[in-house]
A = this chain, B = another copy of it.
Amino acid sequence: MNYSNRIQRLQAVLRRRKVDAMLITQPENRRYLSGYTGVDHGIGETSGVLLIPAKGNIFLLTDFRYKIQAELDVNWAKVILYPRGLLKLLPQLLGDLGIKALAFESHYTLHATVEKMTGVLEKVGVRLTPLKGLVEEMRLIKDEEEIACIRRSVKLNEQVFAAVYPSICPGQTEIDVALSIESAMRQNGAEGPSFSSIIASGDRSALPHAVPSAMKVEKNRPLTVDMGLILDGYCSDMTRTFVPGKVDDRYLELHRLVRRAQLAGMQAIRAGARASDVDKAARMVIAAAGYGEFFGHALGHGVGLAVHEDPRLSSQNHKQLKAGMVVTVEPGIYIPGWGGIRLENMVVVQEDNCENLNSDTTWLDI
């Protein structure tokens, strides 16, 4: 990846915003700008922070536990350890670098942290400036190298699905299925799942975010498998719904309806189309058939270094799509007591249409 180009673009923004440097705390932004693979344990336990001066070389600030990883991943930047926490390091370091105006990611810094940091930095004459979404803005449009990574992530995800699918059968628990999938991901080189796999059988398929349970996969009932993995930092995300056993007419009707909605959504995608119009194109298909109230979530979301990122394909996002964005298209119908059906592919937005990144066709056009 061309990290130096990304850093230079961010540095140009910092100079326009009249700040001397910026702290990057959001983990995917940190990886996007530097390639550092350190893993945080939630927002409270970071594996490191980037300090990006408005000009010149960048710094990776981290602690003892991540030293070797940091020096391995980011050998072109200066790695500095903070044995007593970031706040004890900053006053001296910022002073040495002559940094007086320091920006921070206000959308990934806790309110209490800002209060504490303000107190410490005021004393040494450093002013804090909240900035929001600068790197996320850059991450919206994927370059060719990123799209190649996402393609490989999608392909491996499909290979894992294809390998596990034949063994899925009634009597297995949802947890069994999830474990087969997540083991196959990691044994085939994925860093891990990009989110906890959703394996939902029968009634439970009506829960869009079901956690796999000890319930057994039911014969002749819908089974939803929503899975994704991380490969070289980039995420994939795919959902298939199918019926182990006999398919009844109602299932067939609803499945075909969801698939038509998905195709309508995909057909509406092109550079310049509003995200809300794409959502609407799919939603109208389901609403026209009388199932509008059973499709309670947005049509899709961006995917990249994060599995859920902008742009959202929702009725509330009126921004235009741009070429190089990567989004999911995942309509669903969820009927309490009956079950649910969701079908999800990933696509790249292009000038005149979109490219479907998925080649898996299991139970799509039935």
Residues of chain A having any CB pair with chain B under 8 Å = 39, 41-45, 47, 64-66, 68-69, 84, 104, 106-115, 130, 132, 175-176, 178-179, 182-183, 186-187, 189, 191-192, 195-196, 206-209, 211, 214, 296-297, 308, 316, 336
Contact = CB atoms under 8 A, between A and B. Distances in A.
A105 to B, nearest CB: 8
B106 A130 contact: no
29 contacts: A39-B209, A41-B195, A41-B308, A42-B42, A43-B43, A64-B208, A64-B296, A65-B207, A65-B208, A65-B209, A65-B297, A68-B206, A68-B336, A84-B316, A104-B111, A106-B112, A106-B115, A107-B111, A108-B110, A109-B110, A110-B111, A111-B111, A111-B114, A111-B130, A112-B132, A176-B187, A178-B186, A179-B182, A191-B211
Contacts of A308: 41, 45
Contacts of A316: 84
A311 to B, nearest CB: 15
Q: What is the interface of chain A mostly: helix, strand, loop, or mixed?
A: mixed
A42 B43 contact: yes
Contact of A64 (B113, B186, B297): B297
A112 B84 contact: no
Contacts of A104: 111
A175 B186 contact: yes
Given A115-B130, A196-B39, A308-B45, A209 B106 contact: no
Given A115-B130, A175-B186, A207 B42 contact: no
Contacts of A207: 65, 68-69
A45 B39 CA distance: 18
A297 B69 CA distance: 16
Contacts of A109: 110-111
A79 to B, nearest CB: 15
B110 A65 contact: no
Contact of A179 (B107, B186, B206): B186
A107 B106 contact: no
A171 to B, nearest CB: 15
